[in-house]
Amino acid sequence: MSEDDFWNLIADASERGKLSIQKLENCLERLPDEQIIEFDGHLIDRIDELDIDRCLKALQRNPAVEQSMSDDGLEYLLSGVISRGREVFEEVRRDASVLESGQWFEHEDLLHVASELIEAREDSPQTATSRRGTVSSPARVFSERYPVPPKDLETDFPADTFGWILADVQDASFPAIEELVYNGGSFAIYPESDSDSVRSAFAGPADAACEKLRSAIDFREIPGLVLNISITVGDQSYGPEVRPICSRNGPFDLRPGVAIGIDRRSLPKSESPELDILGASVVFDALEVYFAGHAQELAAISLLRGS
């Protein structure tokens, strides 16, 4: 899905500049899972393109906007800006001071529409097999790509000498063992899963993808040269917040990654073929989320998924 496609969906679901979530759901329901996830990725990217500090200061000068605004409230309001279409978004992106006057409303539903559609498909009777002919993933994939500054690579960097995908499986049935705090929020670390079969179900596909995708991946798109797939298994009510993944190998060094939450009760039995299928599906889902908007990488991932 391109950025133009994203904005066209917003426009098609709007009437007189007002977005209808029901119409948007109807538009998204016609799309495959991958494109719904890409839509969510575009939404997060558009929010990231806005100057949050300037937007907040401008809104605080607007007498029509509630001043005791939380971080979530600000995100909902910026989502509301995007819901009004490309022209309004571009105006705010160029000059946040336009938020100092007029009526601006939150649109929290827009932030959840993609994940709720995916979740509904997973819960439907038809998801015993997916459109790709594999067991449908009970995972919720969150499409935040984390704000890690890029690093320059040497021209002849030997990309075939390291493993660049890490699949980390954590068990949320235990208390968090550490909370890493950084300037944008925090990230809870749970104990490693004690199930060898569960860990290997995700590590195996990650290693295979790592080897087979080397020639197709532009490593300039992976700051730090590592992509961390954080998989947390928990109760049905558990869902990881979208938050940066921190490395304990340094002073709170941030790594790029994708956070995934899996309902323990929908996890296939250990050592079953379905568990291996789920592991591969989650790894490919995470790669597609991370490389959303990068055609060469997505094409290679799609070919590998179908092989």
**The pLDDT of residue 233 is above 60:** yes
* Average pLDDT for the chain: 75
pLDDT of residue 92: 94
pTM of the model: 0.50
109, two tokens: 């539903």
Q: Single out the residue of 199, 121, 117 nearest to residue 166, CA to CA.
A: 199
**The pLDDT of residue 122 is above 50:** yes
pLDDT of residue 70: 73
**The pLDDT of residue 210 is above 50:** yes
pLDDT tens column, 177-187: 776 554 455 55
DSSP for residue 215: T
pLDDT of residue 67: 67
Separation CA 204–CA 275 (nearest Å): 11
Structure-derived torsion over alpha carbons of residues 199, 200, 205, 210, reported in degrees to the nearest 10: 80
Does residue 285 contact residue 298 with C-beta atoms inside 8 Å? no
290 vs 47, higher pLDDT: 47
DSSP for residue 63: T
Sheet containing 227-234, strands listed edge to edge, beginning at the edge strand earlier in sequence: 139-142, 257-263, 227-234, 165-171
pLDDT tens column, 53-92: 899 889 989 988 876 677 778 888 999 999 999 999 999 9
Burial code (b: 16+ CB inside 10 Å, e: under 16) for 206-231 equals bbebbeebeeebeeebbbbbbbbbbb
241 vs 114, higher pLDDT: 114
Least confident span in 26-35, 81-90, 96-105: 26-35
β-strand 227-234 against 257-263: which pairing, if any? parallel
DSSP for residue 219: G
Confidence tier at 97 by pLDDT (50, 70, 90):
very high
